[in-house]
Structure 1
Amino acid sequence: MIPDRPPASARKSVQTMFRLLRKLDDGFQIWLRMDPLQTPGFLVLWRGRHAFLIKVADTSQELADRALQPDFLDGEKVTAESLEESAGFRELLDPDDHGLVRCLLVFPNVDEGSIDAIEKLRSADTGVTFLGLKQRNADDFGEHLKSLAESAVPQPVLLRLRARFTPESVIATPAARVPLARRGAGESLPPAFLDLAQESLAKLEVELPRELEMEARRFETRLITGPAGCGKSLVLLHRALLAARLNRGARLLVLTHNRPINGELKRRLTTAAGRATRIEWRTFFSWARSQSPHRPGGMVHDYQMEERVRALMRDRDFGRLTPAFIAEEIGYLRDLGIDTLDEYLALDRSGRLKRLGPEQRRAIWNLLGRHRESMERADESDWHEQALRFRDHARCHPELLRKYDFIFIDEAQFFAKVWFEPVLASLAAGGQLFMAADPTQGFLKRRESWAAAGIDVRGRSNRLAKPYRSTRRILEFARELVERRRALHPDTADDLDPPTDDELDAIEEDGEDPAILRLHPQAALRQLGDELSRLREESPQLRGSILILHAESSATRSVTALLRAKLGAGEVADLDDRGDPPAGPFCSIARFHSATGLEAAVVFLLGIDSLLEAEGDPRLDPESRAERAAAHTRLLYMATTRAARRLVIFSRHWP
């Protein structure tokens, strides 16, 4: 049954029918039409090839009995056309489909005898079967449906019927996932749908509660997790569109952690909706800036933090603690919202491999205080400080926050604990928080729970297991990468969940092996430029589905400039650029840290050697080296699984 329970707004007769249908045996698949004003209300498939459309009539037994009186119809007969139009079957079926799909007009409140008598009043056979349910149980009804089943419905007819009956479940097949062999051939692809698990989650309890229930239920949370390419973002997108359609006047907000994935989701929304929606799309920090009154004059970026910390360490003895470690530690503290030294001294630092004694913690806390004071004097801020100020604003002035009925968070694993406080404060009474997350990345890698972030997902978490994005060989390659890295760095990245043998066997397309080109960085850039030029000339159908990822965050601008000089300014989009990207670029470029949630048919990976060299830094102690290796393993696994059809890696020291 999709959804697995009827909406509260469904008519009583529809809910009665729903309860009966859910008792049918496992040979049936049933869809309820989400818009209560559209009829027929149910699509039933038996054995996947016999289709029934069911409209539920509210007619009472009394009204049916009156209809049987001679003077009730005023001498007029019910025409075939009026019956068919009132049931709404015509809009779903082509003329040739009527003999293939059985149409039923069901009366839950009328006995079978009365229905038989009413059918005799019809002037002609309409192709619609009348059926009373008052004296039928689920077994009787199921057997009756089976007796009505005739020849199997051809697959093209079933796909067309599904697309018309559940248009909210039709997905625009991403260009990245179209097999390379079928590109540019002019072949018309059949409609693609969310799979049953995805569709169930997209439609589960997507309506707001009744007004009387709103205060009693402060808000509801639902979490979906799963590996790369399983459709988490797709479910979130379709659920947001459906929530906007079914809850008129509702306020909806979609939050992401960075600009590239925010832009990608908006692009998918435009493709899916085909028109403007009432959904507000924001990165967390753009949303925070729109509501927080504090506007600092300068920004201290992540790549500047290590030098800031190094300068603050000059007059103190920090032993073997490095500026990189301390910069990460103070970011960790502020992400958790640690406000006092006592809290820090009591913190168990779950997931942090390097142990710190009380004196080391005091020294780090003192350095953090001096860093914040220096930013205050210079009217500066960094990302962590902006999040803390927004959290404090939400605590002190919750009444000033815009309230939303639905908040959706994609890649929620990258949301720090302090980000969730203003999110929850912005939910209206009775609202919904829906999150999609990969539990192998982001802050959860520190073994923190959602409950620690103030979010209760007990009994409201679902996992999607089947990967769809990448070919079998790409996922096999990614899994082997994780296994090799674990062999080199034991007990690290043990929370990664690469696909199992069964999941790999379920992937239809085998694909080609990823290519590893062991070139010097400058030679790699020349080879990349030549490869892109060749692809643009020989494979124009790949336009917009080529992605270049660079592990060195500071290098993307120079690589973008080089590629634009070779291909043309409008041919390369820098997804991390704050400006508007060029329209219809041939390829895009992003940092590894911005790539989660992105996908492309062809992906090129650069700068990996810098990650591997950083793991060998002689200044690192064993715990810090293990933490860095685990973080890099997650990055590499994420980057390799962005590719749907072809993966090319430039690395002299690929692990």
Structure 2
Amino acid sequence: MLDRVLGVSMASLGFAQSFFKRLPDLPKDVQKRLPELLGKFEAGTHAGLHLEKPNATADERGRTIRINQFWRGVVMAPVRGDHYVLFDILPHDDAYEWLANHTFAINGATQEVEIVNVSAMKAAAAKLPGAGADPSPGMFDAYEDAVLMELGIEPSYVPLVRRARSDADLDLLAQAVPGSQVQVLEMLAAGYTVREIRAELGLTVAAGAAAKASPGVLASPTVFIPKGARELQDALDNPLEQWRIFLHPSQRRIAYRDRYAGSVRVTGGAGTGKTVVALHRAHHLARRLPVGPKHPVLVTTFVRTLADDLRANLASLDSVTGVDTSALIEVTTVDALARRVVTTAEGASPKVTDDEETLTSLWSMAAASSHVPFPPTMLRQEWENVILARGVRTLADYLTVSRAGRGQALTKAQRAEVWTAVEIFLGHLRRAGERTFLQLADDAARYALALPASDLHPHVVVDEAQDLHPAQWRLLRAVVPDAPDDLFIVGDAHQRIYDHRVALTTMGINVRGRSHRLRLNYRTSEEILSFATGLMTGQAVDDLDGGEDSLDGYRSAFRGTQPPTLRGYPTLADELTGLVNTVGTWIHGGIAPSEIGIAARTRKGVDAVVEVLRPGFEVSPLDRKSRGGIEVGTMHRMKGLEYRAMAVVDISARSVPLPHAITPPAVDTAAHAKDTLRELCLLYVACTRAREFLSISWHGEPSPFLSRPGDRSSGADQN
């Protein structure tokens, strides 16, 4: 819907993609007038809307239209023809000021409609080295003007780009130049070739193509042209759904490629649209299935709440395209897939335990009963990340299996001691008729390997790949044939919240030459993103296939209205009172309860938040099936979700990192480092759920993670 191209002759009104992000902030009576507004354009009576060109407009195409006495729409008019685009609705004076300080542009390489902040451009120009004033080489001297313009750099910006001499100059440009063009400049500065940039960003349209197009037709993937009032109303009723299924041209190239020769990997930081790309890929693959396929395209993710969101977004995509894929795509969690495979093979539903207190107690009992000189946490990690991860079945195999990546070396005698404790643990599970979810995946993988080709899925799309255990990867590899377009994998190791590290090649999954990295964050404001990435400064993170990933070039598509707020309190009661005040302020400011999320590290922390909020607000804990109102959950439960406003509570030294989740350095230094990074990633995940507002609080001493370089906000308030 959002990328439909306008190709009609009557008057029309399009809506810039950015408008849907502002929509929830508008008064309800203003929102209700939009279908009427569209109708006036379609009926040719839009002249009665006081379509005016202000005297002090920075762009000849700038217009305002009257919504009511107080509100005005900011519109781009065509040079010729009768096709307009609405960018924002603002109070009267603000609308005129906006047009005095902004111009419009159509990117010649991507066809995106872009907004240029004239004031920001002037400020950058005043600070950049003057032409000829600095004899040092320019950052982009190696590229001719024509090449820069073919990559989408607006011709009028080229002289300004030529003045950049350093990374500091590039940062100045980033504050003024539209996001897609900044991305090009950053990639050039990082050493990417022009060919690599074209391939990475899907730049197939040469500069000037937009000008050659029919002057009365706006062909942009970032403008929504509703077919009528009903389609517009659907978009207005579900603005977040429109946002969540939007594809940038560079993402579209990945999602809608006709055929890949094998498996594909897509990585990128939080909010870069990996899941959206995965959804579109699944939709594309489903539409190519033969009539009446025996098995659907399989889409897997990590937790139920994510699966629910994926189904909802696929339904939105179906509505937009007019194609019903409900019978062609199955969305499930990896755990649910494992349960189904085992149930089919064994003829009965397996009994699975995932209660952390029970598992912790069993490992403590196993350690005590076997008299091993190892703590329960080390035994569990050894079982999950060595024995189960490598499919070890016997002591003989365990004595010789590689333990690469584990920090503490073990002699054969020590391995035998570990094996004794593991056998005690497993014996208790067997007597109870239970198994863990990782055991379930391991069993399911063995059953799936025996399935005939006719019982396999034609394609598998994997979301949140960074948290999958090797046993789960073996299952996914087994349920799809090794063939073109077999596995489409998206993930971000910076968001890994479980200690499961896998190189895809070791799982029989080859993505060489079919890997893509997304860099532009569409969810989180630049202010919040800068804080979150500051948390990860200096951390070595893998790329899901044995290499190293980084957040270089990772940036936000928009700036927010305020930086994150960090507040410390003397006691937990004081912190919870502060949370109630923060939530009340957000709601009073027009943020709906369902647009607010609250995360805590522990279940106990979640319960405390729910208890303090329930008297005055509608609250929905994320571990319940029903959702609505303010959503509260552990950091683990927040995976893949997003909110306009996010509060992350109890980021105290006693809670983050959580002491019992960290291996003591005296026991295993490597495990301690991995555990600490995992806890840091949890905080990073929680913070990047926020789009516009982020509040972080603690009581007593703050988490040591909050003293990392670059993560202190100007909104910090240390009480």
TM-score of Structure 1 vs Structure 2, range by shorter chain = 0.5 to 0.7
Task: Pick the aligned partner of 1:290 from 340, 356, 367.
Answer: 340
**Residues in 1 aligned to 2:376 and 2:214: alpha-carbon distance in whole angstroms:** 73
- Give 5+ residue unaligned stretches, structure 1: 1-30, 34-38, 41-93, 98-141, 165-170, 179-188, 208-216
Task: Pick the aligned partner of 1:551 from 601, 625, 642.
Answer: 601
Task: Pick the aligned partner of 1:404 from 457, 461, 467.
Answer: 457
Alignment of 1:586 onto 2:632: no
Q: Name the aligned partner's letter for residue 298 of structure 2.
A: L
Query: Counterparts in 2 of 1:266-277, with a 5 A limit?
Result: 266-274=311-319, 277=326
Cα offset, 1:477, TM superposition: 0.8
**Residues in 1 aligned to 2:405 and 2:561: alpha-carbon distance in whole angstroms:** 37
Cα offset, 1:628, TM superposition: 2.1
**Residues in 2 aligned to 1:233 and 1:391: alpha-carbon distance in whole angstroms:** 25
Q: Name the aligned partner's letter for residue 524 of structure 1.
A: E
Cα offset, 1:586, TM superposition: 2.1
Task: Pick the aligned partner of 2:278 from 203, 213, 236.
Answer: 236
Cα offset, 1:194, TM superposition: 1.5
Larger RCO: 1 or 2 (CA < 8 Å, sep 6+): 1
Alignment of 1:621 onto 2:690: no
Task: Pick the aligned partner of 1:392 from 425, 430, 446.
Answer: 446
1:59-93 superposed Cα distances (whole Å, 9 cap, x missing partner): xxxxxxxxxxxxxxxxxxxxxxxxxxxxxxxxxxx
1:138-177 superposed Cα distances (whole Å, 9 cap, x missing partner): xxxx99x98993774575888668889xxxxxx9799898
Cα offset, 1:261, TM superposition: 1.4
**Residues in 2 aligned to 1:154 and 1:32: alpha-carbon distance in whole angstroms:** 12
1:41-71 superposed Cα distances (whole Å, 9 cap, x missing partner): xxxxxxxxxxxxxxxxxxxxxxxxxxxxxxx
Aligned to 1:535: 586
Cα offset, 1:620, TM superposition: 5.0
**2:274·2:518 contact (CA, 8 Å) conserved in 1?**
yes
1:171-211 superposed Cα distances (whole Å, 9 cap, x missing partner): 97998989xxxxxxxxxx9999422220001101259xxxx
Query: Counterparts in 2 of 1:135-174, with a 5 A limit?
Result: 149=212, 152-153=215-216, 155=218
**Residues in 1 aligned to 2:237 and 2:420: alpha-carbon distance in whole angstroms:** 50
**RMSD (Å) for aligned C-alpha atoms:** 4.0
Cα offset, 1:551, TM superposition: 1.0
Cα offset, 1:311, TM superposition: 0.9
Cα offset, 1:470, TM superposition: 1.1
**Residues in 1 aligned to 2:211 and 2:239: alpha-carbon distance in whole angstroms:** 42
Aligned to 2:490: 436
Aligned to 2:707: none
Aligned to 2:301: 256
**1:602·1:646 contact (CA, 8 Å) conserved in 2?**
yes
Alignment of 1:523 onto 2:569: no
Task: Pick the aligned partner of 1:636 from 649, 671, 683.
Answer: 683
**Residues 1:553 and 1:158: Cα distance change in structure 2 (over 3 Å):** closer
- Give 5+ residue unaligned stretches, structure 2: 9-79, 84-204, 228-233, 705-719
Aligned to 1:245: 287
1:467-493 superposed Cα distances (whole Å, 9 cap, x missing partner): 22211111111122223xx5xxxx765
Cα offset, 1:413, TM superposition: 1.7
Q: Name the aligned partner's letter for residue 509 of structure 1.
A: R
Cα offset, 1:644, TM superposition: 1.4
Aligned to 1:280: 330
**Residues in 2 aligned to 1:388 and 1:200: alpha-carbon distance in whole angstroms:** 35
Q: Name the aligned partner's letter for residue 226 of structure 1.
A: G
Task: Pick the aligned partner of 2:477 from 424, 429, 434.
Answer: 424
**Residues in 1 aligned to 2:439 and 2:673: alpha-carbon distance in whole angstroms:** 28
**Residues in 1 aligned to 2:493 and 2:662: alpha-carbon distance in whole angstroms:** 27
**Residues in 1 aligned to 2:210 and 2:257: alpha-carbon distance in whole angstroms:** 32
**2:467·2:499 contact (CA, 8 Å) conserved in 1?**
no
**Residues in 2 aligned to 1:459 and 1:292: alpha-carbon distance in whole angstroms:** 35
**Residues 1:492 and 1:322: Cα distance change in structure 2 (over 3 Å):** farther
**Residues in 2 aligned to 1:339 and 1:354: alpha-carbon distance in whole angstroms:** 22
**Residues 1:447 and 1:586: Cα distance change in structure 2 (over 3 Å):** closer
Alignment of 1:650 onto 2:712: no
**Residues in 2 aligned to 1:618 and 1:443: alpha-carbon distance in whole angstroms:** 19
Q: Name the aligned partner's letter for residue 677 of structure 2.
A: A
Secondary structure of the corresponding residue to residue 475 of structure 1: helix
**Residues in 1 aligned to 2:359 and 2:650: alpha-carbon distance in whole angstroms:** 21
**Residues in 1 aligned to 2:451 and 2:210: alpha-carbon distance in whole angstroms:** 61
Aligned to 1:265: 310
Aligned to 1:103: none
Cα offset, 1:351, TM superposition: 2.9
Query: Counterparts in 2 of 1:59-208, with a 5 A limit?
Result: 149=212, 152-153=215-216, 155=218, 193-205=246-258
Cα offset, 1:384, TM superposition: 1.8
1:307-330 superposed Cα distances (whole Å, 9 cap, x missing partner): 2111111133332x3212222221
Structure possessing the higher radius of gyration over alpha carbons: 1
**2:599·2:649 contact (CA, 8 Å) conserved in 1?**
yes
**Residues in 2 aligned to 1:265 and 1:32: alpha-carbon distance in whole angstroms:** 22
TM-score (normalised: structure 1) = 0.64
TM-score (normalised: structure 2) = 0.59
**2:469·2:500 contact (CA, 8 Å) conserved in 1?**
no
**Residues in 2 aligned to 1:191 and 1:369: alpha-carbon distance in whole angstroms:** 47
**Residues 1:454 and 1:619: Cα distance change in structure 2 (over 3 Å):** closer
